[in-house]
Amino acid sequence: KRLLPLLAGFALLLSACGREDLSTLNPQGPVAETQFDLMKLSIGIMALVVVVVFAICIYVLIRFRRRPGDTSIPKQVEGNHKLEIIWTVIPLALLLVLGVPTIQHVFGLAKDYSKDKEALQVKVTAHQYWWEFEYKDLGITTAQELIVPTGKKIMFEMTGADVKHSFWIPSIGGKMDTNPGTTNKMYLEFPKEGVFRGKCAELCGPSHAYMDFKAKAVSADSFERWVSAMKAPAKMPEDVEIAKAFEAKCLLCHAIGQENQGSAPNLTGIGDRQTIGGILYNSDVVADPQPGDKPAAQNLHDWIKDPQQYKPDNKMPNAAENGLTEEELTAIAKYLADYKLDYQSSGK
Ligand code: CUA
């Protein structure tokens, strides 16, 4: 009886992880489904072993317990070929049942589609504490929000810019380390349109827990529109003074458009993104705004003013250090919030 509230609390904890798509137990698409099947198989076999072993154990404890007045020494048995064969063959069979599909799927999931013309090639570079996505064949670089077409194999080539990180979209599949100096490969497939949360899954510094990203799966048409909008000439702030300040104080590290990629996240179309900095949700854009979500202009203002407050140890200076006046800050935040590419037919 005392276990019941504990179990209920645990279930609540598991189910109440905020935006609910951050679960491997709700697999979407072939990769996550395969991984989930393997999980179920191995947990099933383990549970079977635990139940059988415990049942035998408890039976033996009760059946052969020492009874009152019994002082005799039980029969001493040395070796039993029949039993030894049984407890060698059964584990062997269980390991085969587990091992054959595991090996099959592991090789299947490790298939390399980097030469496949049908697959979309994306280079992932993990930085402290943000994600860079480069579509090499399309000449596009973006950050924090991975845009992909549904139903297509997405072949990721992954590396790290500074320390070890790990790329993980729990409901779609993964995860895989992104290591500086080497390249890891993995493919994923997004079965339906939607926004899927991604996380860094390797302890990488003080803001590891905030190193989130989004994967947004869209229709093939929307994806085409996104590609052309990303490649179109970049829009600068209309006000000349603000444009000057933006260029001098932001574009030293950031980039807009596809020329001169910087050392910080590319900002093209940032107004479309579900989050600022990966963690501040935009109530303008998300389908299910929650308490605390703010409009993009507000989030951007707060972020630029003091990014360290949200992601300690990130490389971005605060507005004062950067010499931005409150007026410039507000105008730049508004310009960025309005920088939308409007590539999805539904408008969101
Ligand atoms: Cu990057 Cu943890």
Q: What are the structural domain ranges in the chain?
A: 18-60+81-110, 120-220, 240-337
Report whether 141 contacts 269 (CB < 8 A): no
**pLDDT band at 9, cuts 50/70/90?**
low
The pLDDT tens digits of the residues spanning 65-114 come to 888 888 888 888 888 999 999 999 999 999 999 999 999 999 999 999 98
CATH superfamily of 240-337: Cupredoxins -  blue copper proteins (2.60.40.420)
Contacts of 249 (CB under 8 A, 6+ apart): 322, 323, 324, 328
pLDDT value of residue 225? 95
Mean pLDDT over each residue of the chain, to the nearest integer: 91
* Ligand 1 geometric centre to CA of 197 (Å): 14
Residue 266 has pLDDT above 90, yes or no: yes
Mean per-residue pLDDT, 5-28: 69
Mean per-residue pLDDT, 183-204: 95
* Ligand 1 geometric centre to CA of 280 (Å): 17
C-alpha to C-alpha distance for 61 and 188, rounded to whole angstroms: 50
Atom of ligand 1 nearest to the CA of 129: 1
Residue 18 has pLDDT above 90, yes or no: no
* Ligand 1 geometric centre to CA of 126 (Å): 8
Mean per-residue pLDDT, 48-74: 92
Atom of ligand 1 nearest to the CA of 165: 1
pLDDT value of residue 329? 94
* Ligand 1 geometric centre to CA of 160 (Å): 10
C-alpha to C-alpha distance for 344 and 114, rounded to whole angstroms: 27
Nearest residue by C-alpha to atom 1 in ligand 1: 165
Mean per-residue pLDDT, 214-220: 95
pLDDT value of residue 348? 45
* Ligand 1 geometric centre to CA of 204 (Å): 4
Atom of ligand 1 nearest to the CA of 126: 1
Mean per-residue pLDDT, 201-212: 95
pLDDT value of residue 285? 87
CATH superfamily of 120-220: Cupredoxins -  blue copper proteins (2.60.40.420)
> H-helix or E-strand containing 45?
helix 29-63
Domains 120-220 and 240-337 alike in fold: yes
Atom of ligand 1 nearest to the CA of 128: 1
Residue written as tokens 């390249």? 183
Question: Regarding predicted confidence, which is higher, 100 or 262?
Answer: 100
Q: ipTM of the assembly?
A: 0.98
Pocket of ligand 1 (CB under 6 A): 126, 129, 165, 200, 202-204, 208, 211
Mean per-residue pLDDT, 237-255: 93
pTM of the predicted structure, to 2 decimals: 0.86
Mean per-residue pLDDT, 49-58: 96
pLDDT value of residue 14? 54
C-alpha to C-alpha distance for 282 and 146, rounded to whole angstroms: 16
Residue 6 has pLDDT above 80, yes or no: no
